[in-house]
Structure 1
Amino acid sequence: MGRTFGKNNLTDNDKRAIVVGRQNGLTMMTLAGMFGVTEAGISQFLKRQKAQDGSTNSQRTGRPRVTDRNDDRNILKTSRTNPRLTAPAIRREVFLNSPSPPSVSTVKRRLNAAGIMGRRLVKKPLISEKNRAARVKWAKEHLNWTRQDWNKILWSDESKFLLFGSDGIQWVRRPIGSRYHPKYQLPTVRHGGGSCMVWGAFSGSGNGPLHRVNGIMDKHVYKDILQNQMLPHLRAMGRGSVYQQDNDPKHTSLFVKDWFKSRRVNVMGWPSQSPDLNPIEHLWEELERRCANKRAKNCNEKFAQLLSEWNQIPMSTIDTLLNSMQRRCQAVIDARGFATKY
């Protein structure tokens, strides 16, 4: 029978060797055979070591830890109080009176270990208190709408698409030292290479018209789009259909309001600064992805690409967007009117 761990059975060097052996992947049986101790004895010893110092390493190797638990708590608390503080700023604030403050790298490691990583700020519209209240009110009024209710809405918006490249940030995985290799570069042209502005709409029955906007989009151009593009589609949707637009000044001008009134068009009330409540924003993203690898020589070619891809967006995408409306409303309510993830 193997020995058990007693005060005089194994030396301190033996015990350290057992800990290191276990950390290196040796089994309990192997360690028991090496030191003439039962497997149960090995297991109990390692459990005691873990309870004593939080790990199976009774003697820590390497440099001693330069921050204690109180320091770590203060680092995390300072970051959570002001998430925009950099690691050097946190170091200055927490260790202002410390004779030997830790390095910035140490502060970063403590933050990373707690899952607080540096991230890009999400850009969202600035929403005033008045608009937040309006957003919550709108969301509560439409929270219990059914899919049939949402099918009656003709969602609309304008969007700009670059002829060359993308407005978004693009990433690439590349080996060290290959930053300037053509394979890992993003080609650009002066002044962005131009863009193509479009107006589009969709409803529960599928994609509606996609219209290229020539020149400056003012209230007169917008009225022509409403008359020749929007109105025929809205009428085809049947009685009870409602037109949705945001609160852009050209959309809400008296000139356009009079046009709506004369044509007896029902326009949905809309809270300002609410792109997250308009599912067409995600439809634009889908269209952008579909055209991402297509270059265009001019606006005509770009619009032809956009129109082709617009007509190929499947009904399943429309269904997903409209089925998300209840979740969008709930997210606005939960966020107390602030911007949401949508």
Structure 2
Amino acid sequence: MSYEAIRKATGASIKQIQYALTTPLTPRTDRRGRKPSQFTDEEKHRIARAFSDDPIARKLKWEDLRWYLEGFDRFKDQAFITAMRDAGYQRKVLPRRIKLTPAHMQARLAFAREQLALRPRPEDWEKVAFSDETWATNSHMWKRWLTVHEVEDIEAWASIRQKPHGWMFWAIICGAVKAGSFVWEKEYGGINSEKYQRYIVPIDYQFIMEKREQGTPVVFQHDNASSHVSNATRAYMTGLGIEQLTWPANSPDLNPIENVWFWMKNWIELNYDVEALSKTALRRAILAAWEAVPRDWLLQLAHSMPGRLQKIIDAEGKLIPY
């Protein structure tokens, strides 16, 4: 029978049918050979129905999901987590929807080849200052975790992404150095070329001049946001003597500071009750997380660049894990 025929005969949704037909019938065992906690067939159908009909259910951590769904209080937290995994579910970070055109991939490939020839050694990348900004909110969803079944495609849920509200945090890393940081104040409004030059570029300039006085020239990296690559910004930074690294579009996988954002957000969630943070407390938590970032790890991130570039080449310009 087709899925549609089964749906008409049973009244179940297509997702429930797909789940029922792809879930193993025999219990799985853990590494010690013990049977983990199991859902009954009725409980499996209820969970699948909740994920099909209620988007909130997919967003909740499993420790909270067992209280959100009525009738699962017979499980303790770890037993419920084990049962969810045994049923084929996973918690995944919802990916950014990054679309690469053939032109994007060719530009990324050319950049990787050029830079790997120019800076082939890990230590060569200690002289590149990487910058970026991130949004941080008082919600666990700032990383956009979702529950998906092993037969589902995480990309199919990209439409659930929500623009977060909180603080925009900007920073520079260079080798093992935290080269500068900035919290974008609410009264500044949206960012544009003029504001980028007024608030951010002076931090770049101060660090780069200090390194130059020490005899270490530094190249500055930022992505292709309009405020970064406008003619006015480029001319202004060139006039200040700041050498800028031309960056390929849609390439967060190449920027090691993206790893720093994930580290900081995990650190805050481990050390604070995120959802209870006021805006002021959240700001303090962001700065504390930045201060806690290990400097030796920053150096490892800088040294990872030749490997990242080689992966881009091997992938023919496609996105790589980061």
| Alignment TM-score, normalising by the size of structure 1 | 0.58
Task: Pick closer, same or farther for the CA change 1:211–1:108 going to 2, 3 Å.
Answer: same
Tell me which residue corresponds to 1:288: 265
1:146 aligns with one of 121, 135, 145: 121
1:62-77 to 2 correspondence within 5 Å?
none
Question: Superposition RMSD on alpha carbons, in Å?
Answer: 3.4
1:218 aligns with 2:192: yes
Query: Which residue does the alignment assign to 2:133?
Result: 158
| TM-aligned CA deviation for residue 327 of structure 1 | 1.7
Contact residue 291 and residue 309 of structure 1 kept, 8 A: yes
Describe the shift of the 1:291–1:261 C-alpha distance in structure 2 as closer, same or farther (beyond 3 A): same
Shift of 1:269: 1.0
Q: Which has the larger radius of gyration?
A: 1
Listed one character per residue, the Cα deviations across residues 290-340 of structure 1 (whole Å, up to 9, x for unaligned) are 111343644333222211221121122112212221221111111111111
Alignment match, 1:339: 319
Q: Does 1:321 align with 2:301?
A: yes
1:198 equivalent among 161, 169, 175: 169
Post-superposition offset of 1:165: 3.0
Q: Cα deviation per residue 1:198-255 (whole Å; 9 max; x = unaligned)?
A: 1111101311211011221111221123343221112222242110000011111111
Structure 1 Cα separation of the partners of residues 126 and 134 of structure 2: 22
Contact residue 126 and residue 299 of structure 2 kept, 8 A: no
Contact kept, 8 Å, 2:126 with 2:303, in 1: the verdict is no
Distance 2:198 2:279 in 1: 20
CA distance, structure 1, for counterparts of residue 262 and residue 19 of structure 2: 38
Distance 1:104 1:210, change over 3 A: closer
Q: In 1, Cα distance between the equivalents of 2:180 and 2:218?
A: 16
Higher helix share: 2
2-structure distance, mates of 1:118, 1:198: 33
The 5 Å alignment of 1:2-13 reads none
SS at match of 2:225: coil
Distance 2:124 2:170 in 1: 24
1:231 correspondence with 2:208? no
- The amino acid that maps onto 2:296 is S
Is the CA contact 2:105–2:318 (under 8 Å) kept in the aligned structure 1? yes
1:131 maps to amino acid = H
**1:108 lines up with 2:81 in the alignment:** no
Taking a change above 3 Å as real, the CA distance of residues 106 and 312 of structure 1, as seen in their structure-2 partners, is closer
Query: How many correspondences in the alignment?
Result: 225
Tell me by how many angstroms 1:194 deviates.
3.8
Q: Secondary structure at the match of 1:167?
A: helix
8 Å contact from structure 2 (residues 173, 180) kept in 1: yes
Query: Residues 332 and 301 of structure 1: is their aligned pair in 2 closer, same or farther, counting only changes over 3 Å?
Result: same
Q: Hey, what's the Cα distance between the residues in 1 that align with 2:129 and 2:204?
A: 9
CA distance in 2: counterparts of 1:171 and 1:217, whole angstroms: 30
Counting only pairs closer than 5 Å after superposition, residues 19-98 of structure 1 correspond to structure 2 as 88=3
Distance 1:104 1:254 in 2: 53
SS at match of 1:159: strand
Alignment match, 2:247: 270
Q: Which has the higher contact order (CA 8 A, sep 6+)?
A: 2
Deviation string, structure 1 residues 69-125 (Cα, Å, up to 9, x no partner): xxxxxxxxxxxxxxxxxx948x9xxxxxxxxxxx96785269x9xxxx888785441
Q: Which runs of 5+ in 1 are unaligned?
A: 1-86, 92-102, 173-190
